[in-house]
Structure 1
Amino acid sequence: MTSIALSRLHFPITTLGPGNRIGIWFQGCSIRCPGCISADTWAVGRDLTDVDAVINALNRWLPDADGLTVSGGEPFDQPDALTELLQAFRQRSDADILVYSGYPVEKIMPYLKKLDGLVDALISDPYLAEAPQTKALRGSDNQRLHSLTPLGENRFASYERANQSEEKKIDLMMDADGTVWMAGIPERGVFEKLSRHLSNQHHTFLTTEDRSISRARRGKPHD
């Protein structure tokens, strides 16, 4: 059995691709883009399970899933686990597979070829907090959407466009311990606005968003 470091999985996810999707977040990231909203997924060496356990957990959702979205963390930092996971999923479902990676596609293309068409669509390149944020499914406009199979072209070609106002939403979920977490690509500054609003209502709001960018901005001298 291949070990896999997993942050979380959930169904349905509606903000990271078409339809009701299974979402899988890998744990561990060597890229660590400044400003990332999922800094909690950076740490390595924790939340280990095995691919068989993950597939068993997904089985109950497969009949209703329109697709699978794999994010993180960085999926390509665990290539063996990613391969085994996608192979097992494809054996059980013909739904599309979308993978997010912070690596440039040129760096991981040899590995994608070894996956032999398992990845239908890929969003590549690191998140840049200073770049515009207008494109569908992407956190910053430098990121590229690649349709890698006929199924990927059919399902994702329509996302090669500007983000639409109705898509500026997030999935809100709650774990059994009461932890609330969000999936999607929120507009920049939305967590700060939410924090201020909740603070005004005497609530405490903590987020896993990386704060290095905002700290650097606050530290800049005025012109």
Structure 2
Amino acid sequence: MDIHISRVHFPVTTLGPGKRIGIWLQGCTIHCKGCISMDTWQFNINKVPLNDLKQVLEVWLPQCDGITISGGEPFDQENALFELLEFLNSYKTNILVYSGFSFETLKEKELVQNGFIDVLISEPYNHTETQTKRLLGSDNQQVHFLTPLGKREFATYLEQPLEKELDIHITEETVWLAGIPINGMKEITQAGKDNNVDLSHSQAVTKTK
């Protein structure tokens, strides 16, 4: 089976407690206005065999404190997501999954009921909402503790104040950020301009297909 991947990285420290493996899936049908990850909307790119991804993850899994899966929209690749989560659950670490679908849509799905996901963050990003809660891009989004492990690992973490924190990852060609920036990319872009740095980012993308 293949899976469409935007990127994977370890460690990520801004998408849940501890040093986490971050997995961003590629492809999204929801297209929230103001999304900071429009580069992950397009389907049919960055397709890799799921077994190849597992081999990469096997190197990091013994060292990680948890896993965060985002996108893109993970539930747009439900079969591949199921197999990925089945593999990850053999390592007995906590798993957080983001989805832009409503919980009403997701709650009857096997993946939400079978214990593979410890914490689910649901609901589409709403750029008109306030942003006052940790791990949420907008306050309409909902946190669901689906297992006792999820509640134990995340309840206290989520009660902590919202902070301006991002992981910065530098490759030969790009600089990319992991985390939930406050007010999207507005403050970051303005800070760049104030220091004579021109930044382009996925919120500026207009062509998505």
Whether the TM-score (by the shorter chain) exceeds 0.5 is: yes
Per the alignment, residue 41 of structure 2 pairs with 42
Alignment CA distance shift 1:94-1:36 (3 Å)? same
Per-residue deviation at 1:194? 3.4
Work out which of the two has the higher radius of gyration on C-alpha atoms and give 1 or 2. 1
Tell me the distance in 2 between the aligned counterparts of 1:201 and 1:105: 42
Deviations 1:29-74 (A, max 9, x none): 0001000100000011111002111110111111110000000000
1:149 equivalent in alignment to 2:150 = no
Per the alignment, residue 58 of structure 2 pairs with 59
Per the alignment, residue 82 of structure 1 pairs with 81
Per the alignment, residue 92 of structure 2 pairs with 94
Contact between 2:17 and 2:157, CA under 8 Å: does it hold in 1?
no
Instruction: Using the aligned pairs only, state the percent identity.
Output: 45
Per-residue deviation at 1:159? 4.2
Contact between 1:14 and 1:171, CA under 8 Å: does it hold in 2?
yes
Tell me the distance in 1 between the aligned counterparts of 2:113 and 2:56: 23
**1:164 aligns with one of 137, 161, 164:** 161
Query: 3-state DSSP class of the match of 1:7?
Result: strand
Tell me the distance in 2 between the aligned counterparts of 1:19 and 1:53: 25
Deviations 1:165-186 (A, max 9, x none): 5x320010012x3200001011
Per the alignment, residue 106 of structure 1 pairs with 104
Tell me the distance in 1 between the aligned counterparts of 2:188 and 2:199: 8
- Once the two structures are overlaid, the 10-residue window that deviates more, 32-41 or 197-206, is 197-206
Per the alignment, residue 179 of structure 2 pairs with 184
Alignment CA distance shift 1:187-1:143 (3 Å)? same
Unpaired runs of 5+ residues, structure 1, are: 213-223
Contact between 2:112 and 2:146, CA under 8 Å: does it hold in 1?
no
Tell me the distance in 1 between the aligned counterparts of 2:63 and 2:34: 34
Output the amino acid matched with 1:53: D
Unpaired runs of 5+ residues, structure 2, are: none
1:8 equivalent in alignment to 2:37 = no
Contact between 1:11 and 1:22, CA under 8 Å: does it hold in 2?
yes
Query: 3-state DSSP class of the match of 2:92?
Result: coil
Tell me the distance in 1 between the aligned counterparts of 2:110 and 2:192: 43
Output the amino acid matched with 1:142: N
Tell me the distance in 1 between the aligned counterparts of 2:108 and 2:191: 47
Per the alignment, residue 173 of structure 1 pairs with 169
1:209 equivalent in alignment to 2:192 = no
Alignment CA distance shift 1:143-1:49 (3 Å)? same
Per-residue deviation at 1:199? 3.6
- TM-score, with structure 2 as normaliser: 0.92
Output the amino acid matched with 1:164: P
Number of matched residues? 206
Q: CA RMSD in A?
A: 1.8
Per-residue deviation at 1:157? 1.7
Output the amino acid matched with 1:169: E
Query: 3-state DSSP class of the match of 1:53?
Result: helix
Per the alignment, residue 129 of structure 1 pairs with 127
